[in-house]
Amino acid sequence: MSDHTHMDSQLVQGHSDAPQAQARGSRPDHDAVAAAIERRLQEERERAAAAAAGSSNANFDGNHEKRQEFRRMIDPGILRPNPRHVALESLQTLLKLAENIIAHPEEVKYQKFKPTNTTINRLLVEPRGTLEYAVAIGFAPQVENFQPFYVFNKRHMNDLKIGAAMIKEALDRELPKEEQAARKRAEEKATHEAAVAKVKQAFYDDRKGRAITDERERLARAATAARRAAGGMSPEPEVADYRPRKMPGSGHTLSGNVVQADEGSDDESGPTAVPPTVREDEEEDEEE
């Protein structure tokens, strides 16, 4: 009896648990649903990012090719065949034209240039590759009132901006080189001029020294000539004459004789002695 009762209770419990298990199996799992939604959102984000990346890459590739084209038109197209200073000035002129249009897109006066203008002719018409670059960034030849012009077409605004950016890129690269080269040329010129000035100064100093020497020699020759002119030929040095010479006048010797000197005679025998004069009283005394 008890066994039957226990079995019946198990059957009843089994029947009562079955609907609950079936209900649990049919109820959705919220975590799984959330995970599925997150996966779908992530996939959509990835697809959107891929689409955006594809569009960006397509634009980048197109601009890249255009940039490369403009770079080739600048170098070698403009920089190599033209004198360097002309090429750089021409690029600066093209950049100025482009920047004016970009800054003033509605100003008609900035959207054309006249090829017969002296400056335009020198910088954009005569140099090689410059007029072709102007056409590439959107300028086209037209005639207005029987006058030639190059007029910008607004449909090429993107080309204009890319071309201007490439010119700026080239100038940022080349102008420092030009400034460095200009400084080097100036230094070399200054060094050369200093060397030339030094050589000239040495030459002038040498000439001045020679002139001073020549002047001294000339003065010495003039002095010598003056002395010779004043005294005929230069007199030979006189030999000292130690011979006794006669003294003019008369004198008395110790013996009382009177000595008379003959002034006009060159006789070297000496003065003539004259006996002393005897007074008369002395003679009388002697007679006595």
Domains and CATH numbers, the chain: 64-182 (1.20.58.2190)
Indicate whether 254 pLDDT > 80.
Answer: no
The mean pLDDT value of the chain amounts to 78
Question: In Å, how far are 18, 94, 153 from 106, measured between CA atoms?
Answer: 82, 19, 12
Kindly indicate the confidence band of residue 55, based on its pLDDT and cuts at 50, 70 and 90: low
The 10s digit of each residue's pLDDT in 168-192 is 999 999 999 888 888 888 888 888 8
One-letter amino acid for residue 253 of the chain = T
Between CA 134 and CA 147 the distance in angstroms is 18
Q: 12 pLDDT band (50/70/90 cuts)?
A: very low
**What predicted TM-score, i.e. pTM, was given to this entire model?**
0.49
Helices 30-74 and 157-230: crossing angle in degrees, nearest 10, is 40
Cβ atoms of residues 252 and 259 within 8 Å: yes
Nearest to 120 by CA among 145, 146, 103, 141: 141
pLDDT tens-digit map of 181-220: 888 888 888 888 888 988 988 888 888 888 899 889 998 9
pLDDT of residue 127: 96
Residue identified by tokens 């006996």 is: 275
76-97 pLDDT, tens digit per residue, is: 999 999 999 999 999 999 999 9
Contact 113, 150 (CB under 8 A): yes
pLDDT at residue 60 above 80?
no
Map the chain to HEC letters. Answer: CHHHHHHHHHHHHHHHHHHHHHHHHHCCCHHHHHHHHHHHHHHHHHHHHHHHHHHHHHHHHHHHHHHHHHHHHHCCCCCCCCCHHHHHHHHHHHHHHHHHHHHCCCCHHHHEECCCCHHHHHHHHCCCCHHHHHHHCCEEEEEECCEEEEEECHHHHHHHHHHHHHHHHHHHHHHHHHHHHHHHHHHHHHHHHHHHHHHHHHHHHHHHHHHHHHHHHHHHHHHHHHHHHHCCCCCCCCCCCCCCCCCCCEEECCCCCEEECCCCCCCCCCCEEECCCCCHHHHHHHHC
- For residue 3, the Cα-to-chain-centroid distance in whole angstroms is 119
Please state, as a whole number, how many other Cβ atoms lie within 10 Å of the Cβ of residue 192. Answer: 10
Q: In this predicted model, which residue has the larger pLDDT, 61 or 26?
A: 61
Q: Bigger pLDDT: 66 or 250?
A: 66
> CB count, 10 Å around CB of 126?
13
Q: pLDDT per residue over 87-132, tens digit each?
A: 999 999 999 999 999 999 999 999 999 999 999 999 999 999 999 9
Residues 133, 73: Cα–Cα separation, whole Å? 7
Encoding tokens for residue 93? 């002129």
